[in-house]
Amino acid sequence: METGNLRKGIISGILADIFIGFQPIVANGRPDIIDPYIYAALTVFFEALVFFPIMFIQRENIKKKHNNSIIDHQEFSSLMDGYKNKKNIFLLLIVGLVFGVGQILFFIGYDLAGSINGAIAQKSTIFFSLLFGYLLQKEKITKLQIIFSFFLFFGLILAVTEGSFNLIQINLGVIVLIFLTCMWMLAHTLTKPLFQKKEAIPSQVVVIRNLIGAIILFSIFSIFLPIRFLNILINPIFLFWGFSMGLVYSTGLFFWYKTLSYLDVSKASILVSPTPIVTAIFATILLGELFTIWHLLGMIFVITSIVIIMVQK
């Protein structure tokens, strides 16, 4: 059984690597006529749409477990409707806003930084996971994790400054993506208690937060630019790229959750740590970006740091 789960976890992790690594390529490969704002609105909408059947199937499985007395009525009610209490509704509204606005920053950041630098910058996720876990969840941090958090940023700066370590030269897009990573990790940390208390399932939160984000972004766009909004809704180019980004994003997220279902979070995080390598390969081949020795050295520092930090968890 353990061997079977390990094999499934590794396969899911590799697929997560591929799809997560391909996200920056779809982000930067879009036509120039699609601005970050509308691309973000379409992405979160289609991500909610893609994840809806996954959520439906998982909710049906919960019903079956309840009918077969695998889970009691209290747990069943909590998993199905726990997200509806006032506190959780307010939290999900905030998280939806964060992910909606964050998706705009995602595209702006990658536009400015490029796919390779952007992918490396987003690996700062591990640092913010430690930080917010410590501040909000009272999770312990070891000295070794602190040391290698510095090494992680050393590798990041090494890569994006091409070895100069001139902080003034750091691309604005890299800063935007680090800020975005901080925002998203804070939102993830705030929603973590929902899963711990069994008041929601991950697919449910993905659908709700993206649907809220889509409603907010589409509402603002339709109020200020109603004619352009209607034109976009019938434009196949906009819809194709919005769906493509939503599908790639959702698929990467799906396989990440599948990896977590077979392996613990440390092993899963280590498995998906090489996503910048995947991005670099695709960016070089498809977008013509230049992969330098500094990128390689930076990635070695970043990935090694992630492995050591997660082994300590």
Integer Cα distance of 163 and 191 in angstroms: 38
Q: Which of 26, 63, 32 is nearest to 46 (CA)?
A: 26
Query: Could you give the CA distance from residue 305 to residue 158 in angstroms, rounded to a whole number?
Result: 14
Tokens of 143: 């000295």
Measured in Å, how far apart are the chain's first and last C-alpha atoms?
A: 24
> Residue 278's closest CA among 6, 96, 89, 18?
18
Q: d(Cα 140, Cα 182) in Å, to the nearest integer?
A: 19
Model confidence, pTM = 0.91
DSSP secondary structure letters along 136-189: HH-----HHHHHHHHHHHHHHHHHHTTT---GGGS-HHHHHHHHHHHHHHHHHH
Rounded to whole angstroms, how far apart are CA atoms 276 and 296? 10
What CA dihedral angle connects 284, 286, 289 and 294, to 10 degrees?
A: -20
* pLDDT band for position 39 (cuts 50, 70, 90): very high
Place of tokens 């199905």: 80
Q: How far apart are CA 99 and CA 190, in angstroms?
A: 13
Statement: residue 312 has pLDDT above 80: no
Q: Which pair of tokens denotes residue 214?
A: 């889509």
The pLDDT of residue 269 = 87
Whole-number CA gyration radius for the chain: 20
The number of beta carbons lying within 10 Å of the beta carbon of residue 172 is: 11
pLDDT tens digits for range 52-76: 999 999 999 999 998 888 888 888 8
Considering only the C-alpha atoms of the chain, give the largest distance between any 2 of them, rounded to a whole number of Å: 63
| CA nearest neighbour of 98 among 201, 223, 189 | 189
pLDDT value at 1 more than 80: no
Higher pLDDT, 67 or 245: 245
Q: Taking 70 as the threshold, does the pLDDT of residue 313 lie above it?
A: no
pLDDT at 112: 96
CA distance 59 to 62: 5
Contacts of 135 (CB under 8 A, 6+ apart): none
Quick one: pLDDT at residue 179? 97
- Alpha-carbon distance 189 to 137, whole Å? 8
List of residues 6+ apart from 200 with CB closer than 8 A = 79, 82, 83, 88, 191, 194
Mean pLDDT of 144-170: 92
Q: What residue type is assigned to position 230 of the chain?
A: L
Q: How confident is the model at residue 196 (pLDDT cuts 50, 70, 90)?
A: confident
